[in-house]
Chains A and B, each alone.
Chain A
Amino acid sequence: MKFVDEFRDADLAAMLGREITALCEPGRHYKIMEVCGGHTHTIYRYGVQDHLPEDIELVHGPGCPVCVIPMGRVDDGIAIAERDGVILTCFGDMMRVPGGRGSFLDANARGADIRMVYSPLDALRIARQNPDKQVVFYAIGFETTAPSTALTVLRAAAEGIENFSVFCSHVTIIPAIKAILDSPDLRLDAFLGPGHVSTVIGCRPYEWISRDFKMPLVCAGFEPLDLLQSVYMIMKQFSEGRAEVENQYGRVVQYDGNPVALKVLADVFTLRPFFEWRGLGSIAHSALQLSPKYAKYDAELRYDLPGVRVADPKACQCGEVLKGVLKPWECKVFGTACTPETPIGTCMVSSEGACAAYYNFGQYAKQRLSLEVLQ
């Protein structure tokens, strides 16, 4: 296949693995966090870790947008959907995220009208087709997805569509990385930066990490060789005593991002003072809400919502998994009470969640076997 096989070449992967191994300092253990859930998915789907020496440990980060949605906001979505004359629309993975009153799928079974869409523009189309209904888009995602929502709001405004609004849970990646670096639980050596988020925001917003924390960060693509090359670039920095922001994903990421997308984001959204992240707690200036200019499209203003904070199930350790403190298989309910079919925690819902990635691609069995042997 054109332009894909080149990034999955096994011989090149093996060669890169050898070069990475050669760059390891004897006796040193390296912890590299992949921030993005898409990277976690690639790592386990293609066995990227198998090409790395044992001295390099990949730690999963908080970059799965489904995984960081707190249960209370799921309940808010259900409260909107249960109103007469409302169609709630959302991305596919949101359908199974458990809230305090069940998931969106459960709400549908009770009679709500919640529809899965591929794009917020599809939600706007549903609004055009159903002028007698209120159509709400349940917006989640990082800076990769937020421009799509912003563009949809701009189109709704331009067309004068009144029966459309957005329940906005878009989050931003930089404050989450800062929260992780401020956490006393975790020692990291470097980051694999989120490639598609960086397409929008560029590489410059990460420079404080290398400057203040003396840690390398490489913005990485999503194919197996992208990730291996990015690890190679990080190890090269270590071997040369450098700590810099570098861009491996140059085929789509510009160092200053996409200025048009950033301008649209600035027009449509403003930062929330605080936002609760599942597992990470409340983080300042880490999420978006519609700006006053577009307030009439804000579902949180249009509807009276419960807005209740719901505690995670006690057995669930998604918080520690999201911070990279625990491996998924170290959670007490992983693979037993919590599976992709019956998820307790959000990390088991999305295929980009660390727990689901472990579960679906066989690492679970391997790690659990090792644990049993040790015991």
Chain B
Amino acid sequence: MSSLDLTGGEVGATCSAEPGCITCGDVAVVLSVETVEGSDARCRDEQGREELVATELVGPVQPGDRVLVHAGVAIERVDVAENLERRSPQMGE
């Protein structure tokens, strides 16, 4: 796979006008897949708001999957339960 060097070439790695603009703030939201429409998925948040999301970057999705969405594009799948399990023992140390 070709890669884009995002390290500045010097470090050894490859690799709304209203307050709260979701894109500019690097904010991403967790949505649940409701239906799949080709390369897009109709997704819903916890408040019931719907959004059509491009899913090419996370591979095939199916209803019930949870995805992290930024600027109308799913950029990763989400596993909240796994993280909550992992969180508890660390906090209690």
Contacts and interface: CB of A to CB of B under 8 A. Distances in A.
Asked if A and B bind, the verdict is: yes
A284 B8 contact: yes
Interface string B5-47: 1111111111111111111111110100000000000000010
A286 to B, nearest CB: 6
B7 A250 contact: no
Contacts of A201: 6, 15
Nearest to B70: A144
Contact of A141 (B1, B8, B24, B80): B24
A266 B90 contact: no
Interface in B40-87: 46, 54, 56-59, 68, 70-73, 75-80, 82-84, 86-87
B18 A92 contact: yes
A4 B78 CA distance: 14
Interface string A223-254: 00100010011001000000000000111111
Nearest to A194: B26
A265 B86 CA distance: 31
A352 B25 contact: yes
A44 interface: no
A175 B7 contact: yes
Contact of B58 (A6, A260, A270): A260
A128 interface: no
Given A252-B68, A259-B1, A260-B59, A205 B15 contact: yes
Interface stretch (A61-69, A298-306, A312-320): A61-69
B24 A271 contact: no
Contact of B80 (A3, A172, A267): A3
Contacts of B70: 144-145, 148, 196
Q: How large is the interface on B (under 10, 10 to 19, 20 to 34, 35 or more residues)?
A: 35 or more
A118 B22 contact: yes
Interface stretch (A25-33, A80-88, A119-127, A362-370): A119-127
Nearest to B13: A205
Contact of B46 (A1, A119, A286): A1
B2 to A, nearest CB: 5
Interface stretch (A35-43, A46-54, A70-78, A329-337): A35-43
A188 interface: no
Given A172-B8, A250-B86, A360-B19, A93 B24 contact: yes
B23 A257 contact: no
B3 A266 contact: yes
A38 to B, nearest CB: 5
Interface in A185-235: 194, 196-197, 199-202, 204-208, 212, 222, 225, 229, 232-233
Interface in A249-307: 249-254, 257-267, 269-271, 283-286
B82 to A, nearest CB: 6
A356 interface: yes
Among B9, B73, B82, the one with the most A-chain Cβ atoms within 10 Å of its Cβ is B73
Contacts of B8: 172, 174-175, 178, 283-286
Interface of B: 1-28, 30, 46, 54, 56-59, 68, 70-73, 75-80, 82-84, 86-87, 90-91, 93
Interface of A: 1-4, 6, 12, 15-16, 19, 36-38, 41, 63-66, 91-96, 105, 116, 118-122, 140-145, 147-148, 151, 155, 172-175, 178, 194, 196-197, 199-202, 204-208, 212, 222, 225, 229, 232-233, 236, 249-254, 257-267, 269-271, 283-286, 340, 350-352, 356, 360
11 contacts: A41-B25, A119-B23, A141-B24, A148-B72, A172-B6, A178-B10, A194-B26, A200-B75, A204-B14, A266-B1, A351-B20
